[in-house]
Amino acid sequence: MENSTKVCIAIKKLKEDAEFIFTGDITTEAEFNKIDWVTGVNSEEIAITTNTCPHSEIDWAKFKTEYDKL
């Protein structure tokens, strides 16, 4: 299974409605911390993002546990 697929599945297992954007592989905590988490949209319907995960259900340790199961 490709890394990007595993990343998406692992995050969705932790929070089904989480919205995020990433490029490249996510295999380290530093790479995980570069995920853009969607927190809303502006008046022009452009995503508002942050690199700080706004979901208490998702952190590096929880993500890595789910990722490693795949």
Q: Which pLDDT belongs to residue 1?
A: 87
Helix residue spans in the chain (DSSP H)? 3-14, 29-32, 60-69
Instruction: Output the six-digit token pair for 38.
Output: 């969607």
Tell me the CA distances in angstroms from 70 to 11, 21, 32, 49, 61, one per residue in order: 12, 20, 17, 27, 15
pLDDT (0 to 100) of residue 40:
95
Q: How many CB atoms lie within 10 A of CB 3?
A: 14
pLDDT 10s per residue in the chain (70 long)?
A: 899 999 999 999 999 999 999 999 999 999 999 999 999 999 999 999 999 999 999 999 999 999 999 9
d(CA 6, CA 66): 9
